[in-house]
Structure 1
Amino acid sequence: MAQLKQYNHEKIENNWKDKWFKDNIYEAVDFSEKPKKYILAELPYPSGKSLHIGHMMRYTVPEIYSRFLRMKGYNVLFPMGWDSFGLPAETYAQKAGITPQEAIAQAAVDYKKAMQDMGYAIDWSREINTCDPDYYKWTQWTFKKLWEKGLAVQKEMPVWWCKELGVLADEEVLPAPDGDGRISERGGYKVERKQFKQWVLDIPAYADRLIADLDKVDYQDSVKAAQKAWIGRKEGINITYQVLESNATITCFTTTPVNWGATFIVVAPEHPVLTALVDKGNTEVWNFIDRMKAQSDLERESKEKEGVFTGRYVKNHVTNKDIPIWVANFALMDVGTGAVQGCPGHDRRDFEFAKKYGIPIARVVVGEDGYDGPIENVNQVVQAGDKGKMVNSDFLDGMEFAEAMQKTMDYFEEKGWGKRVVTYKMRPQVFSRQRYWGEPIPLIYKQDGTIEAVADEALPVELPPMKNFASLSENKEWVQTIDSAGNPARRETDTMPTWAGSNWYYLRYVDPNNAEMLADLNKTKYWFPVDMYFGTAAHTTAHLLYSRFWFKFLYDIGAVPLDEPYMYRMSGGMLLGPDGHAMSKTRGNVINPQEVLESYGADAARISLAFLGPYEGTYPWNPQGLVACHRLVKTIYEAGGKVASVKAEQKTLVKLHKLIKKTTRMMEELKLNTAISEIMIFTNHIKKLEKISDEIWKDFVKVIAPFMPFVAEELWQEANSFGEWKKENSVHLQTWPKFDESLAKEEEINLPIQINGKMRAIILVPADLSEDEAKELAMKDTTIASHIKEKEIKKVVYVPNKILNFVLS
């Protein structure tokens, strides 16, 4: 009996990671003759002492996949960098009593070490950091181009504000403990929504392209649907109402102008028309407005509809009736025009509001049920999307509902009461922060009040070091500058948001050291589009849209050779604590990855994360799973002591080729958890063998290499008697093993049998049966026979080796 080898993960890992990263064996080669694969994982915020176990879940699956592709013969780019600007790093620096620069410098080192400790196959020659001046020079350059094209403008926008701290980001605001409004995270000060001038990017200008070009990519349907829903394209009409006894007007956007049924108008609490309509002494209205301003848009939309009458009216164009103007929580200033017309007979939200406040409800559409009486409950509301015919609507009577809406728009345009428009739920992206830690905006204010951009040759505008880093405006010396004519001027003190650097980081990876442009066009053409982009579900909509917009703009100005950055998006789930709750220090359920690596090793940690389930799922951390995976790695390592130059047993050879066939397919389909199951099955087999053929062993080591890179490298070097380290001899640069179909072919399979789509039995049958043979065997099963009995078989659906479904009458 061969003597078992002793597994020491620490010794093995320290030996190989130093060699791999010193020689950068995972280097991606520009313009290689091999087919390319660009596998991208979202870069992390380095806002703590190290990566947490949730980060490792997010990166392990794409990293294993990238290793597999490399062994399959692809020139793989799997890069990494640090999304360093923004609130996470600033908050961490404040708590640690250091500057953000110091925090990021140390965090980048610690995060990189953590990734190397996990054995991640990253090309570190392409490492980027969004707070590096050489990087954000090009972020500033792109912003400057956006400004020159009129896509970066200043606009009054609602933001959180308190007198003690000024403007706050959404992340810095919390619900008040008493449930009344919001407070600042720091200090617990009462905050409110105020209109402040902000830099915004006109993403809606690209909205139609962002929708249409989804046809160019292979995103999942759910991702495409989320993108379209976020954009929220609507075709409708802006209708302008004259306020009675006033010079003021109110313009309402609607997609469904059932104006013969319009009985009230609603304006947002922030609507500027209110200062002209509501007396300062009307405390009921102003108190309501102040209360609404203390709530976020999401809070206002999710709460029960409430409002207050302003005491003012407009006249309905077609009924000639005076209808009241209300302020309500469901009207949002930056959606549509900030005002809507209430047609409670034909909109369920309007119905609930009108019912609550006793506003008249008029019927102007009769549904398919033909009921034309009073609308007394919400189920009687016929609204957009429903079929119906017009009533009580003058020349529209008898017309189909949908057609009548277009005729109404025609009529209102002819009368000069309205104008057709296209609107988007997606708003301009707020692109400035009144904070220190962000990219300085490369604009200056001249003495005459105009704005000019910093010259290209003067970029980057570097962020000055500051001990007190609340705001750039406090650094008076830095603020003072001169314009292009040499006259005194002042710098813009707003900085860019966290989104700025992450809008284009994936582009910089292909040419990280280029001092002349964002990235060489030929390199971009070679590597793009990104073949697969892994990230969190939380970034599937906003980040994806923002970065697609940024990339399309770069295409329009000739900076990149194509207009879509990503071909496929894979959204990951979440790793919970062992108790099934989100990991948090207050719950005490945070898993320290360093302790995991010290106790069990990186290989066990990697496969335990990949074994949890599909990438998009959410799972609790499983300590028992980690122990089992450590046992698996140890068993495989110890099996290396039984390897000998002997002829392979036929049974083991068949099992190996089945393993290779199955894991190849599973890896291609990103079913890493089931691939690990197959490795476990094969390991249980070889564990029972007295000796293992060296040829079988070498192919097996290749199969485990993407999952357990450290142990695989150790075993590969031993199996081939390599003495001196040479990078070309690494197992990770070898070719993925091929399977012999004649050996890998399954002799018997478990065939699921369905009746009308419901699983009723699983029977063991020879592989590759014909449909008639499968039917014959299935009919002999007593369970299936009892379900069919005398019933007529209308149809049979048979997928060989997969499923047999009887469709009965």
Structure 2
Amino acid sequence: MTKKNYDHQAIEAKWQKIWEEKQLFQVEIDTSKLKYYILDMFPYPSGSGLHVGHVTGYTATDTIARYKRQKGFNVLHPMGWDSFGLPAEQYAIRTGTHPASTTQNNINTYRRQLKKLGFSYDWNREITTSDPKYYKWTQWLFTKLYNKGLAYEAEVLVNFCPALGTVLANEEVENGKAKEGGYPIERRPLRQWMLKITSYADRLLKDLELVDWPDHLKKLQINWIGRIEGAKIHFEETQTKQTITVFTTRPDTLFGVTYLVLSPEHPLVSSITTAPYRKQVQRYCKEISGKSDLERTELNKEKTGVWTGAHAKHPITDQDIPIWISDYVLMGYGTGAVMAVPAHDERDFAFAKIFHLPIIAVIIPNETDLDIQSGKLCWTEEGTYINSSLGSLNLNGLDLKQAKQAVIHWLESQGKGEKTVNYKLRDWLFSRQRYWGEPFPILHFSDGTRRVLDLDELPLCPPELKDFKPAPTGESPLSKVKKWVHITDSKTHQIAQRETNTMPQWAGSCWYYLRFCDPHNPDKPWSEEAEKYWMPVDLYVGGIEHAVLHLLYARFWHKVFYDCGLASTLEPFQTLRNQGLVSARSYQINQGVYVAPEGVCEENGIFFKLGTKEPLHTQIEKMSKSKLNGVTPDHIICEYGADSLRLYEMFMGPFDKEKLWNSDAVNGCYRFLNRFYDLVTSDKICDEDTAEGLKLSHRLVYQVEKEIEAMQFNTAIAKMMEFINAFSPLASYPKQALKMAIQVLYPFAPHIAEELWEYLGETKSLTYQPFPIFDPNYLIDETVLYVVQINGKVRGKWSLPKEQTKEELLSFLQKQPQIIKYLLKPITKVIFVPNKLINLVCDV
């Protein structure tokens, strides 16, 4: 065999072409094999393309996908695009290009980059959420939710961005501003489509027990759903006689209520506010309309509020208590009203102090001398009940559980409240005022009725537009196309209006994993056969930023599908893992002005902009286009190759931990691959097996297999590097041992592995070549470490052949100078543990 040099560019182009031409990663249902469905959280194709931080998760899933094929699994490993959404629409508004054109260009960039990395996706299953052939089924699935009573219209308080002209989800708002563009938002009531995710709250909690997810991720979902047991208590406003209902987890403190607080958005605010206070109430509500929920509820912020001039009857004492408005009460949590117990709640206490409201202590601490009754302190723990008795209701002397039960029983007997369960989770606001999204398959009639479109009327495509800006009224851009909006219904022959709101980007990503099972089915979103074979997803990998919303929404839809008989599994994603964040150094001249790494020089650990002596501020941050610290994989692939990049992505550190990117360090992985290449193509290869060579290769197989199964990729690569160091000095290189090493390398660096496999005379791709089986006999050490003690104290350690007899070991030790000096007295006893320890007991 002729000696060859490692030409990564030629090798990678060659094998990527072979894989694509032979469609080696395309799969179909095969009931003779166990399936393995491995999935990445599919990307939104932004204009900036992939950076190396994105590549981490994709490399890990591809490593496992290739490994599982070697282990005999029928592996489904697809890729697609979450392509509807606000960024493409805003780009279209700025540039005058159509979102479809922008999106397609971005998809082409992403696809090219992923193929250059050699990922083993089944590209025959590629899907795009903005493709009418796909969103036809998104619309149809929405009709299933509608027909089950899970989709409804309501006027709700929303985050509205006047500059963007659309409603934004909470996750699209940061510090009271839109993440897209940084524009201010305001809270306003709008007619919106909602989904009853709250109807599934208990199941979303309970079924977390069925999945293999990290505990911290489960806790995020549990906290987001926020199941709380408590009571609803009804207060009556004294003038209008309207009922104000509050939810509380502490009904036992009802005797300590001294005022009520309503959210500024509460529907009763305008009707109960008395004339002298209307202007100041309106002014206050307008002032806080632009604040985010986080800003409003921040614990250390000074409490603000205004009195309505109204009162409510205390349900036990019948005393009049004032009704206030404050921004620390949110309409989206509980009932939008709270009963204030300032002696026993920190927020209520702070508010009462500012506005000089009464503070009545009803619990005092046990066995302390804290003066709670003076109103100078707030006590939030358990204690002894005081001032809590009137008529038949007496809490004094009860413990916390008994007091809660007593109050709830009394409320229910009087028709003034009831035991209830509340959730932090709110129904899902499901509509947006955008063009670039799925149109709702809904027709509105003049009599207030609606009709959902039938399957033969789908997909409902949006009209062609050149102006994507929202209407001046804040409505969707679709509302401007009157011919599209106002129609005669072909089935009922009634005059109708199409829904002009569009679905959020989440809609397409709620069910895409199911379409991958059967992507070309023209008659159904997926077939029963395909769903039963491929589902659930065996391993789902993505960023922690999707830990709550995407996963919660997808789980909700999946449970609806299960109830409709469309899915056979209770949960969509059996095992889920998050890759750690990849950070990089950013270089900043001043606030908001960054310098790209290629424009930076370093002197004595200080960074300067090229051509200047002004030091730059440096910080380790998440990769970001705006901070100019995102590293594209393209130039790394060009210089070092895809295999080197893949190897480095997995070698940087533990998969689930944060890692710091260092472009120069890729060279270390490149050198390793060069050494591996030189080893296999050297003139020391022989056909004869040697015990030493086979021992190294079998140990490598055992170690790497174990690490891949545990997703400990960095230590698996370390074992391969150790193998090279140990194998290189051998007098000859057994071909069989090298083949085993190549098969182990293949999941991580498939291009070079395929090339070396072919170099050693193999004619078939490694794709379905079985992963080597290690022989346990080669894992047994021929030597062991013997610990030598004299009178119980360690005096030395020696690596010696296994299975030494007591006599052989004693004879050896009596010849060692560092032992002889301790044997001046006779040995009276020998304690011997085979292959581990010998303790010589001598006369003192």
TM bin (shorter chain)? 0.7 to 0.9
**1:501 and 2:508 aligned:** yes
Matching residue of 1:732: 767
Report if the CA contact (8 A) 2:135-2:508 is conserved: yes
Report if the CA contact (8 A) 1:46-1:89 is conserved: no
Matching residue of 2:52: 53
Matching residue of 2:306: 309
**Matches of 2:86 and 2:331 in 1, distance apart?**
26
Matching residue of 1:389: 384
**Matches of 2:692 and 2:154 in 1, distance apart?**
73
So what's the TM-score if we normalise by structure 1?
0.87
Q: Residues 47, 90 of structure 1: CA spacing in aligned structure 2 closer, same or farther, 3 A cutoff?
A: farther
Question: What is the DSSP-based 3-state SS (H/G/I as helix, E as strand, rest coil) of the residue aligned with 2:264?
Answer: coil
Q: How does 1:553-702 map to 2 (within 5 A)?
A: 553-579=560-586, 580-642=620-682, 644-689=685-730, 691-702=732-743
Q: Note the C-alpha offset of 1:718.
A: 1.0
**Matches of 2:487 and 2:423 in 1, distance apart?**
39
- Once the two structures are aligned, what percentage of the paired residues are identical? 37
Q: Note the C-alpha offset of 1:690.
A: 5.3
Report if the CA contact (8 A) 1:309-1:324 is conserved: no
Q: Residues 477, 747 of structure 1: CA spacing in aligned structure 2 closer, same or farther, 3 A cutoff?
A: farther
Q: Residues 274, 530 of structure 1: CA spacing in aligned structure 2 closer, same or farther, 3 A cutoff?
A: same
1:479 to 482, 485, 499: 485
Q: C-alpha offsets along residues 393-438 of structure 1, whole Å, 9 cap, x if unaligned? A: 1111101112211210110111111122222111111111010000
Matching residue of 2:286: 290
Q: C-alpha offsets along residues 115-147 of structure 1, whole Å, 9 cap, x if unaligned? A: 111010111111111111111111101111111
Q: C-alpha offsets along residues 762-802 of structure 1, whole Å, 9 cap, x if unaligned? A: 99999999xxxxxxxxxxxxxxxxxxxxxxxxxxxxxx99x
**Matches of 2:173 and 2:424 in 1, distance apart?**
25
Amino acid at match of 1:582: K
Question: Considering only CA atoms, is the larger Rg found in Structure 1 or Structure 2?
Answer: 2
Report if the CA contact (8 A) 2:645-2:666 is conserved: yes
Amino acid at match of 1:736: F
**1:548 and 2:555 aligned:** yes
Q: C-alpha offsets along residues 586-643 of structure 1, whole Å, 9 cap, x if unaligned? A: 4321212111111111001101111122222121211232111111112211222226
Q: How does 1:65-214 map to 2 (within 5 A)?
A: 65-161=64-160, 165-170=164-169, 182=177, 191-214=185-208
Q: C-alpha offsets along residues 673-693 of structure 1, whole Å, 9 cap, x if unaligned? A: 100000111122233345421
Q: Note the C-alpha offset of 1:475.
A: 1.9
**1:254 and 2:248 aligned:** yes
**1:8 and 2:3 aligned:** no
Q: Residues 767, 575 of structure 1: CA spacing in aligned structure 2 closer, same or farther, 3 A cutoff?
A: farther
Q: Residues 162, 416 of structure 1: CA spacing in aligned structure 2 closer, same or farther, 3 A cutoff?
A: same
Question: What is the DSSP-based 3-state SS (H/G/I as helix, E as strand, rest coil) of the residue aligned with 2:351?
Answer: helix
Amino acid at match of 1:733: Y
So what's the TM-score if we normalise by structure 2?
0.84
Q: Note the C-alpha offset of 1:77.
A: 1.0
Matching residue of 2:235: 241
Q: Note the C-alpha offset of 1:218.
A: 2.2
Report if the CA contact (8 A) 1:533-1:570 is conserved: yes
**1:270 and 2:265 aligned:** yes
**Matches of 2:295 and 2:529 in 1, distance apart?**
48
Q: Note the C-alpha offset of 1:166.
A: 3.4
Matching residue of 2:353: 355
Report if the CA contact (8 A) 1:577-1:621 is conserved: yes
Matching residue of 1:781: none
Q: C-alpha offsets along residues 26-68 of structure 1, whole Å, 9 cap, x if unaligned? A: 1233133121111111000012252222221121111111111
Q: C-alpha offsets along residues 196-215 of structure 1, whole Å, 9 cap, x if unaligned? A: 01101000001111112222
Q: Note the C-alpha offset of 1:183.
A: 7.2
Q: Note the C-alpha offset of 1:667.
A: 0.6
Q: C-alpha offsets along residues 73-97 of structure 1, whole Å, 9 cap, x if unaligned? A: 1111111111111113323444554
Amino acid at match of 1:308: G
Q: Note the C-alpha offset of 1:244.
A: 2.5
Report if the CA contact (8 A) 2:313-2:321 is conserved: yes
Amino acid at match of 1:25: L
Question: What is the DSSP-based 3-state SS (H/G/I as helix, E as strand, rest coil) of the residue aligned with 2:135?
Answer: helix
Q: Note the C-alpha offset of 1:353.
A: 2.9
Matching residue of 2:533: 526
Q: Residues 164, 250 of structure 1: CA spacing in aligned structure 2 closer, same or farther, 3 A cutoff?
A: same
After TM superposition, the structure 1 stretch with the greater mean CA deviation from structure 2, 569-578 or 541-550, is 569-578
Matching residue of 1:773: none
Q: Note the C-alpha offset of 1:473.
A: 1.3
Q: Residues 163, 213 of structure 1: CA spacing in aligned structure 2 closer, same or farther, 3 A cutoff?
A: closer
Query: Across the two proteins, how many residue pairs are aligned to each other?
Result: 747
**Matches of 1:224 and 1:763 in 2, distance apart?**
48
Q: C-alpha offsets along residues 521-543 of structure 1, whole Å, 9 cap, x if unaligned? A: 12111111111111110111121
Amino acid at match of 1:331: V
Amino acid at match of 2:546: H
**Matches of 1:173 and 1:652 in 2, distance apart?**
57
Unaligned runs of 5+ in 2: 470-476, 587-619, 787-795, 804-834, 837-844
Q: C-alpha offsets along residues 554-585 of structure 1, whole Å, 9 cap, x if unaligned? A: 11111122221111111222111245212233
Q: Residues 416, 122 of structure 1: CA spacing in aligned structure 2 closer, same or farther, 3 A cutoff?
A: same
Question: What is the DSSP-based 3-state SS (H/G/I as helix, E as strand, rest coil) of the residue aligned with 1:312?
Answer: strand
After TM superposition, the structure 1 stretch with the greater mean CA deviation from structure 2, 449-458 or 163-172, is 163-172
Matching residue of 1:447: 446
Question: What is the DSSP-based 3-state SS (H/G/I as helix, E as strand, rest coil) of the residue aligned with 1:549?
Answer: helix
Report if the CA contact (8 A) 1:532-1:569 is conserved: yes
Matching residue of 2:338: 340
Report if the CA contact (8 A) 1:334-1:427 is conserved: yes
Report if the CA contact (8 A) 1:578-1:622 is conserved: no
**Matches of 2:723 and 2:375 in 1, distance apart?**
65
Amino acid at match of 2:220: A
Q: Residues 710, 173 of structure 1: CA spacing in aligned structure 2 closer, same or farther, 3 A cutoff?
A: closer
Q: Residues 763, 92 of structure 1: CA spacing in aligned structure 2 closer, same or farther, 3 A cutoff?
A: farther
Q: Note the C-alpha offset of 1:448.
A: 2.2
Amino acid at match of 1:45: Y
Amino acid at match of 2:265: E
Report if the CA contact (8 A) 1:344-1:351 is conserved: yes
1:513 to 508, 520, 524: 520
Q: C-alpha offsets along residues 145-179 of structure 1, whole Å, 9 cap, x if unaligned? A: 11111100011222233556533425897779xxx
**Matches of 2:261 and 2:696 in 1, distance apart?**
71
Q: Note the C-alpha offset of 1:744.
A: 1.6
Report if the CA contact (8 A) 2:686-2:732 is conserved: no
Q: Residues 217, 377 of structure 1: CA spacing in aligned structure 2 closer, same or farther, 3 A cutoff?
A: farther
After TM superposition, the structure 1 stretch with the greater mean CA deviation from structure 2, 433-442 or 627-636, is 627-636
Amino acid at match of 2:517: V
Amino acid at match of 1:494: N
Q: Residues 521, 377 of structure 1: CA spacing in aligned structure 2 closer, same or farther, 3 A cutoff?
A: farther
